[in-house]
Every structure is written in structure tokens, then in C-alpha cells.
Amino acid sequence: MKSVSKWCRRVLFVVLVLLGVAWLWSEANQWLLRWRGERLLADIQSLEVGKSSWTDAEALMKKRGLRHLGDSCTPEKCQYGIRMEHTLPRWFWGYPDYGVMNWMPRIADNVGLRISVISAVFTVEKGIVTSKSFWEMVRLPVRDWFLPGSGHMSELSVNSAEEADFSRYYLGFDYKLSRMHPHSAATADKRGLVVTYSPDEDISERAKLMDFRLDCITRFIPCKNEREILPEGQVLLEEHRALLKAKGD
């Protein structure tokens, strides 16, 4: 009997050690993604839309291992992008539907693990960088999937882009909005928070609209909303909504 009890304790110890190692491995990968993301973000921030050249773009391509999107890539026209992610085994993904308990994803939530994605894209046309964007997605904990007003969203997603041809993104916006923010726009839909702005925007505002907070990837207590990822983007969205509401009233 003692030998059986001793054997069970050893098995339990081994299982706990393996679980601990798996957690440390996943946690380390989350921190690695954040570290890589912060450096990629700094490089994207350094690109100047309408000013940075093909040479600048090539240097970034080689430095970060970016790949061109599409069949061809020349100084005349090329789009480059990179996607980095931290994922979990499939049984930790969960399923966002009523009545599903999602026990395994809840366990991951309670030990600070989550799926996260970072992506960056920029475009070169006629030897000049004409657009750049950065995207961050962080999975919400299961308990927040069905909160009132959440729209049954299972993730936080924020994309911010600077576009030389900003006018084509601004079509359809209210006149009052265009007067208040003639060089920036923000929307929120099933894609999450989407911010677009022009190189003509004030330099300090441009910096804020690309000032992503990547700590949502590694925080033990998860982020709750897009404001915690891109504060100024959420401020811009709320200003737009307030104007639209005032117009409706």
C-alpha cells in the first residue's frame, strides 16, 4: 500500500513539473512576442509616410525579415508585411457560444496565458513609402465574451494606419467630423477598433495614434478594452461618437 501511495505521489509530482514547464514555456513565448513586437513597432514608427524611400524600406525588410505581399515587388509598387503570433494548443482556444463551458480556456485565462497576434504592413509606390499600419490582437478571457455591450466578442483588436491617400478613407464621414478631425478617422466594428490618419495630421497626434501598448500580451490580469491597447485611438473614436450622437439628438 505504501509503495502504491509513493508511486502516486511521484506521478503527481512529475505531472506538476511538466505542467509548470509548459506554463513557463508559454509565458516565455508571450514575453518574446511582446519584445519582438516592441522592436517592430519602433521600426514602423520610424518610417515616414510620403518621405521614407525605397532604401529605407529595404533596410527594414532585411532587418525584420518582412516578406512582400503579392506576385511582384519593385520600387514602383510593393507591399511588405509581417505577422507574429503566440498561440496555444487547440483545446485551449475555446468556442464563443452560449452554453459552452470552455473549461480549458478558462484554465489558461486563470494562469495568464492567451492567444496574441501582431502584424505590420507598409506600402512603397514610386520609390516612396505611401502607407504603414500596425495591428495588435489579444484574446479576451472567456468570462468577458458575453458581457453586455461586448457584442459577443472574444478578442480585442486594434489597427492603426497612416495613409498618404487619406481622402479615400474619409469618404462618407460627417461634415462636422471632418471639421473637427480633418486628418484622422476612427471606427469600431467586428474587426475591432480601426484608426486611419493622414501624414498631414499633427506630428504629436500621429505619434499617439501609433503608440500601441503591448503589455496586454503579457499582463497576468488581462486587458478589458481597446483603450488599454491604443488610448488615443479610443479617444478619437469616442469624440466621433459624441458628435454623431449630438447630431442625432
**The pLDDT of residue 148 is above 70:** no
pLDDT confidence band for 89 (50 / 70 / 90)? confident
Q: What is the mean pLDDT of residues 185-214?
A: 92
d(Cα 121, Cα 157) in Å, to the nearest integer?
16
pLDDT digits (tens, 9 = 90+) for 16-67: 888 788 889 999 999 999 999 999 999 999 999 999 998 998 888 888 777 7
At 142, the pLDDT band (50, 70, 90 cuts) reads: confident
Domain boundaries defined on the chain: 2-248
Starting at the edge strand found earlier in the chain, the sheet holding 155-163 runs 67-68, 77-86, 116-125, 128-139, 155-163, 192-197, 184-189
How much is the pTM?
0.87
Chain-wide mean pLDDT for the chain?
A: 85
Mean per-residue pLDDT, 76-89: 91
**What cell was used for 33?**
512576442
